């Protein structure tokens, strides 16, 4: 246990101070992470409380002042992204297991009621004890303890903490729910807790079912199978995660829009170095990879995804002269066209005529000469100016069968 290293998010409030104290006593190696938002007169006081505790036990202390990058519609969203990115950075720096957060049972119930009020279909009911933010593991050890338990712990163990006065601002929906929960009896609250617990149990059973389905799909989903799921957007999220696409910041609304686009039969969405395509009844993810290979002279051999050979099939052949070099082998781009005997043909038109799926179009090989003319396209062959009965070059696509294309 002592070998595990955790970044502990500590605001200075009772929840995070109890989290820090209990994890210290359990023998974990810790790094305290504090974000100073500079929005309250008590912000510096809270930082001092956290820093003093960390210093008294020789715990590493990391602090960052909040900066708004202007990319988000409100402070709450911007602040969340800012602090989680900070925690993620520290996990990398200290090679930590993940970040520990101070959410407790009351937070769990508030989240559940928040989801119900907004009729949100989330990937969880309430708050999960373990989750991920990209590659970072997120752990919430206090979910079994109520706010009352936490305050009693502070009193019993003389834990100093600061109160965040913004929690009393009922203009925030979550704070309003919190105020309503504080006003009801313990019996009523317990009844809500039991209702949430049952909903969690039912949801976990559902999740196990669609996890099994996602495991069978690999990097391609038949669109009817996705749309037949009870919660297609949540299944889509899990499938994207399985394909190493970071959807941490992808909202439920955006996932719903993706499902609608997929249902229409044509869709393309980009996630950093990968793209999602929907066409001809399937959804596929594909990694981006640039190809821009220059050849200054005629040469034969294998070049990763293609080969230049001295013999091959008729459709693979072309005749090059010295005036064509250097040539470039790349993937097709929008606007590419090739001169054929019956006129110019757009490569995209060829894709449409042959019903080539979008994910295959992204990696379709073409050869361009030094004049930037397309002289060869896989599946079409060479242009009219480079045709002969005795080609001196055959372009062979590697690791792709004809069935994959046609």
Q: Are strands 274-279 and 267-271 parallel, antiparallel or unpaired?
A: antiparallel
pLDDT confidence tier of residue 1, bands split at 50, 70 and 90? very low
Q: Give the tens place of pLDDT for each residue, 22-80.
A: 999 999 999 999 999 988 888 999 999 999 999 999 999 999 999 887 776 688 888 99
Pair 306, 398: CB distance under 8 Å: yes
Please tell me the predicted confidence (pLDDT) of residue 401.
Answer: 41
Q: Give the tens place of pLDDT for each residue, 307-321.
A: 999 999 999 999 999
Phi-psi region of 379 (alpha: psi -120 to 50; beta: other; left: phi over 0): left
Chain-centroid distance of CA 17 in Å reads 31
pLDDT confidence tier of residue 165, bands split at 50, 70 and 90? low
Pair 331, 378: CB distance under 8 Å: no
CA distance 238 to 129: 18
Phi, psi of 237, deg, nearest 5? -60, -45
Q: With 50 as the cut, is the pLDDT of residue 403 above it?
A: no
Tokens 């992808």, residue? 250
Cα-Cα end-to-end distance for the chain:
56
Q: What are the structure tokens assigned to 148, written together? A: 């009352």
Q: How many CA atoms lie within 13 A of 353 on its CB side?
A: 8
pLDDT confidence tier of residue 397, bands split at 50, 70 and 90? very high
Please tell me the predicted confidence (pLDDT) of residue 359.
Answer: 77
- Closest C-alpha among 352, 355, 354, 236 to residue 285: 236
The three-state (H, E, C) secondary structure of 2-52, written as one string: CCCEEEEECCCCHHHHHHHHHHHHCCCEEEEEEEECCCCCCHHHHHHHHHH
Contacts of 188 (CB under 8 A, 6+ apart): none
Q: Which residue has the higher pLDDT, 28 or 135?
A: 28
Please tell me the predicted confidence (pLDDT) of residue 174.
Answer: 74
Chain-centroid distance of CA 50 in Å reads 32
Q: Count Cβ neighbours within 10 Å for each residue of 56-81 and write b for 16 or more, e otherwise.
A: eeebebbebebeeeeeeeeeeebbee
Least confident span in 84-88, 219-223, 327-331: 219-223
Q: With 60 as the cut, is the pLDDT of residue 355 above it?
A: yes
Q: With 50 as the cut, is the pLDDT of residue 396 above it?
A: yes
Pair 115, 122: CB distance under 8 Å: yes
Pair 216, 229: CB distance under 8 Å: no
Contacts of 64 (CB under 8 A, 6+ apart): 33, 34, 35, 36, 86
Sheet bearing 327-331, strands edge to edge: 292-295, 327-331, 365-368, 374-377, 381-382
Q: With 90 as the cut, is the pLDDT of residue 128 above it?
A: yes
CA distance 378 to 338: 11
Q: What are the structure tokens assigned to 245, written together? A: 């696409």
Cα–Cα distances in Å, from 317 out to 181, 200, 309, 336?
75, 62, 9, 19
The mean per-residue pLDDT over the stretch 386-405 comes to: 79
C-alpha torsion sign, points 307, 309, 311, 315: positive
Domains of the chain: 5-183 (3.40.50.620), 220-287 (no CATH), 292-405 (no CATH)
pLDDT confidence tier of residue 213, bands split at 50, 70 and 90? confident
Please tell me the predicted confidence (pLDDT) of residue 271.
Answer: 82
Question: How is 50-92 classified by DSSP, letter by letter?
Answer: HHHHHHHTT-EEEEEE----S-SSSHHHHHHHHHHHHHHHHHH
Please tell me the predicted confidence (pLDDT) of residue 291.
Answer: 85
Q: Give the tens place of pLDDT for each residue, 90-120.
A: 999 999 999 999 999 999 999 999 888 876 6
Q: With 80 as the cut, is the pLDDT of residue 184 above it?
A: yes
Coil/strand/helix, residue 104: coil
The mean per-residue pLDDT over the stretch 157-173 comes to: 74
- DSSP for residue 123: S
Q: Count Cβ neighbours within 10 Å for each residue of 185-223 and write b for 16 or more, e otherwise.
A: eeeebeeebeebeeebeebeeebeebeebbeebeeebeb
Q: What are the structure tokens assigned to 167, written together? A: 């929690």
Q: What are the structure tokens assigned to 172, written together? A: 């925030």
């Amino acid at each position: 246990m002592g070998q595990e290293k955790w970044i502990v998010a500590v605001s200075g409030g009772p929840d995070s101070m109890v989290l820090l104290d209990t994890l210290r006593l359990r023998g974990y190696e810790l790094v305290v992470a504090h974000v100073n938002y500079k929005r309250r007169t008590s912000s510096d006081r809270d930082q001092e409380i956290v820093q003093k505790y960390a210093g008294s036990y020789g715990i590493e202390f990391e602090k960052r002042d909040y900066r708004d990058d202007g990319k988000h519609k409100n402070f709450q969203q911007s602040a969340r992204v800012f602090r989680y990115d900070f925690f993620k950075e520290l996990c990398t720096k200290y090679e930590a297991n993940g970040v520990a957060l101070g959410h407790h049972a009351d937070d769990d119930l508030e989240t559940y009621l928040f989801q119900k009020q907004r009729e949100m279909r989330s990937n969880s009911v309430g708050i999960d004890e373990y989750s991920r933010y990209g590659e970072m593991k997120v752990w919430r050890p206090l979910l079994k303890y109520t706010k009352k338990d936490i305050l009693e712990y502070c009193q019993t163990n003389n834990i100093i903490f600061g109160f965040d006065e913004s929690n009393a601002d009922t203009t925030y929906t979550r704070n309003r729910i919190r105020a309503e929960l504080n006003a009801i009896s313990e019996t009523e609250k317990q009844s809500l807790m039991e209702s949430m617990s049952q909903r969690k149990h039912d949801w976990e059973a559902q999740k196990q079912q669609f996890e099994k389905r996602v495991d069978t799909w690999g990097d391609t989903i038949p669109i009817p199978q996705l749309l037949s799921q009870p919660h297609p957007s949540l299944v889509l999220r899990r499938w994207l995660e399985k394909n190493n696409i970071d959807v941490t910041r992808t909202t439920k609304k955006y996932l719903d829009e993706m499902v609608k686009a997929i249902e229409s039969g044509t869709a393309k969405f980009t996630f950093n170095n990968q793209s999602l395509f929907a066409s001809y009844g399937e959804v596929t993810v594909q990694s981006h990879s640039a190809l821009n290979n220059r050849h200054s002279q005629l040469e034969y051999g294998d070049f990763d995804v293609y080969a230049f050979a001295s013999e091959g099939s008729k459709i693979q052949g072309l005749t090059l002269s010295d005036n064509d070099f250097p040539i470039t082998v790349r993937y097709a781009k929008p606007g590419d066209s090739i001169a054929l005997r019956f006129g110019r043909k757009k490569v995209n038109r060829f894709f449409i005529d042959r019903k080539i799926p979008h994910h295959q179009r992204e990696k379709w090989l073409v050869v361009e000469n030094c004049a930037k003319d397309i002289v060869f396209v896989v599946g079409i062959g060479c242009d009219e100016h480079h045709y002969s009965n005795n080609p001196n070059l055959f372009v062979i696509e590697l690791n792709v069968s004809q069935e994959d294309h046609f």
